[in-house]
Chains A and B, each alone.
Chain A
Amino acid sequence: MRTLLILLRTEFLSLVNSMNRKGKTPFIIAAVGLALLGLFMIAMFGIIGASTAYTLVKKDLPEFAIFVSLSLSMIIALMFGVMNSTRDARSSDTDMLLSMPIPKSSIVISKLLGMYLLDVLCAAVMILPSTAIVCLRGPGSEALFLRSVLIVFLVPALPLFISLLIGSFISFLRKATKFGQIAATFLSFAVLMVYMIVVPNLSGYAEKLDITPAEALSKMKAIPPFYWITEAVYSGDALCLLLTVLITVIPMVLAVYIHARGLNGVDFHADNSKKARTYKSASPRKAVITMEFRRYFSSMNYIMNTLVGSLFLVAATVFLLIKGMPTISVNEAVEMNGQTIDIASRFSGAAWALVWSILIMFFASITYTTPPSVSLEGKRIWLNKSLPISTRDILFSKLIVSIMIFQPISIICSIVLSIISGCGIAGCLLLIVLTSLAHLLFSMVGLIFGLVFVRLDWTNEAQVIKSGMGLVITMIVNFFLALFLSIGLFVAIIIGGNTAIFGAFAGEIILVGGLCAGAYAIITHYGVKKYESLNG
């Protein structure tokens, strides 16, 4: 226990020092940004959970409301867990820790705690508003709410355990076959698809759900572990409470034990001595870009954290291709200047190009390859800096990776979406130009903040890929940029007519182009100087 506390304190100090290294101002900005993002996430998940629970309680299904919120919190935790489990558990400090008199289980727990706390937070924002609704609007009591608080701390252990198993499976695949990376990507994609389909439509499902309490009970009983947890919260049944503790705590203890047993130092001893040696030549610029790509594709962590936008975009396009275009009903109308405007009539032809622009821009804004790209150079930065490569080429190679990861997918999806919605060639071209420029802008913003909050002394690349300050600030700035641009496009949809549509496109292309030029100037002046001053 003592060693575990020491490890946790060290991890915490490392986190605080990493945020505080640049002085107080960036630290305060980062903390405020982080708090805003946290509040946004809490509000979003909380609203989804509460509105679903409210609908179900109204239909006299309070226990089912708790069941749904529990299930949802586990899906979200599983999604985070799968994405996290693809990372290699070993940090560069693992060898050092293993050589010290520290139990392996303490090392594993210290590395898992961050993930567990994130899952607890998710569970809290999903479950507590639902149980609060059940208490306020349904038959619940204070005791029910207190039990739900206890469950919030227990429930995350289950998805964490499952994601650890998936992580072990992926790591086995990675060692045994060369398709491990692809398998991991598809697995994460599948979980993301479930999340994408289930979560946003949850309130709608609840609204359309037409079942009796008895039918709801039989549905719940079909999944015993979830039913036990629901009963433990809802009725406080002692047996269910005991079963809940058993199914959450025991697998977790087992998982920590198994992981601890398998935790060894870094060991890469594949013998390729008999493989033919290939000598390929390329131009220096191409060599730098190839190196950047190799680094990208060699890190599952990096891929999983940056491919989400592309995966969501493909999923949305495939979904629309299969399901067909959404029908906009006349009920979806807005009041403007005392007049009711029929939104349905506004959604035709080129107007859809505006809708797809909004969609693609949001996915582009979450493709975060550039923020950690400079930090990922780490202690190897001496290499690029001592070679005869211009700093500009090094920084542009990072932008090119970002563009190549998202743009081809974005262009294909833009064409498919334009065809199925009948945007026309002009609409399609404007959609491609605007979203390409917007993605370039988001990538450049990421590169700038990656340089401002650069961190070269990481011990595990996840520290910069998943939680680097540059990444957090980029997430916030890009989100608000995408929101700001979307508002302009949405206003054009409301106004309607080709003049408004093409005017909005033209205006935003000029605006984003101008912002890109500004970001380019910052990178080529401040960025180059900053990179040259870095010392691993």
Chain B
Amino acid sequence: MLKIYHMTKTYPGGKVGADDVTLEVKKGEIYGFIGHNGAGKTTTIKAIVGLHDFEQGSITIDGVSVKDDPIKAKSILAYIPDNPDLYDNLSGLQFLNFVADVFRVPKDVRKERIEKYAEDLEILNALNNQIASYSHGMKQKLAIISAFLHDPKLLIMDEPFVGLDPKSAFIVKKMMRDFCDKGSAIFFSTHVLEVAEKLCDKIAIIKNGKLISSGTMEEVKGDASLEEVFLELTEEA
């Protein structure tokens, strides 16, 4: 579903954000991406969703190159940033209608999905309120609903659990699992190693822009805990 092949991104000034990153996320997989602050997680994610250009390598989503056909690639993915800055002057529903329009979600389908996800995440009653009045967690929930709204093939999430209450985090985890069980894929970054350990089928660890380990959970951590392996790898490398 997602193939990153020798991708390198250098920022103006020479700082390497991602250095020769190669990984593959297959259909039905939840792929975790972990690393220190500034390790290159967000840089890689932004390159996948077309927010950043990159100089070398390639990224394809379901066979579509994000460089050659960005619109087609974006039409089959959804992205949730770490800090969702949304349109403050719109209501939650106006924002969701906007996203649904862009992805051409039919009226009855969008109504059904919005009400279902908003009900599950307990923000249905707030949908007519201005986004400016939302807490960080509510904005995060709105961004999550907008991502699931058009039933994408690939979901890219940057720290999706930040700001969510425990119940909502649980629901989102369930939504993620159900989503992948239907044949889609998720690539997400997190600092919460326990979540990664329980939720992910595969995992990649990045440090200073370079992947230092990747594979199935068993391949990466063996018999140790993910925390021990992560600390050991990031200090060694």
- Does B associate with A? yes
Minimal beta-carbon separation of B85 from chain A (angstroms): 4
A532:B53 contact, CB within 8 angstroms: yes
Minimal beta-carbon separation of B173 from chain A (angstroms): 23
Give the residues from 82 to 125 in chain B that come closer than 8 angstroms, CB to CB, to chain A.
83, 85-87, 89-91, 93-94, 97-107, 110-111, 114-115, 125
Query: Measured between alpha carbons, how far is A282 from B94 in the docked complex, in Å?
Result: 12
At the interface, is chain A mostly helix, strand, loop or mixed?
loop
Bin the interface of chain A by size. Answer: 35 or more
Query: Measured between alpha carbons, how far is A315 from B103 in the docked complex, in Å?
Result: 43
Partner of A272, one of B91, B105, B110, B114: B91
Binary interface profile of B, 38-51, with partner A (CB < 8 Å = 1, else 0)? 00000000100111
Query: Measured between alpha carbons, how far is A283 from B90 in the docked complex, in Å?
Result: 19
Task: Please tell me if A525 contacts chain B, counting CB pairs below 8 Å.
Answer: no
Q: Could you say which residues of chain B place their CB within 8 Å of the CB of A283?
A: 101, 104
Query: Measured between alpha carbons, how far is A53 from B159 in the docked complex, in Å?
Result: 67
A268:B130 contact, CB within 8 angstroms: yes
Q: Could you say which residues of chain A place their CB within 8 Å of the CB of B105?
A: 281
Minimal beta-carbon separation of A49 from chain B (angstroms): 41
Interface centre among A271, A286, A288, A387 (most CB of B within 10 A): A387
Bin the interface of chain B by size. Answer: 35 or more
Partner of B128, one of A275, A288, A386: A275
Give the residues from 178 to 194 in chain B that come closer than 8 angstroms, CB to CB, to chain A.
none
Q: Could you say which residues of chain B place their CB within 8 Å of the CB of A389?
A: 71, 102
Cβ-closest chain A residue relative to B107:
A281
Cβ-closest chain B residue relative to A529:
B53
Q: Could you say which residues of chain B place their CB within 8 Å of the CB of A533?
A: 53
Q: Could you say which residues of chain A place their CB within 8 Å of the CB of B49?
A: 385-386
Task: Please tell me if B132 contacts chain A, counting CB pairs below 8 Å.
Answer: yes
Query: Measured between alpha carbons, how far is A480 from B106 in the docked complex, in Å?
Result: 49
B94:A294 contact, CB within 8 angstroms: yes
A266-B132 in contact given A281-B107, A385-B50, A388-B74 (Cβ < 8 Å)? yes
Q: Could you say which residues of chain B place their CB within 8 Å of the CB of A275?
A: 128
Give the residues from 263 to 286 in chain A that come closer than 8 angstroms, CB to CB, to chain B.
266, 268-273, 275, 277-284, 286
26 of the cross-chain contacts (CB-CB < 8 Å) are A268-B129, A268-B130, A268-B133, A270-B133, A273-B128, A275-B128, A277-B115, A279-B97, A279-B110, A281-B100, A281-B105, A284-B104, A287-B98, A287-B101, A287-B102, A288-B102, A294-B90, A382-B51, A385-B49, A387-B99, A388-B75, A389-B71, A389-B102, A390-B71, A535-B51, A536-B85
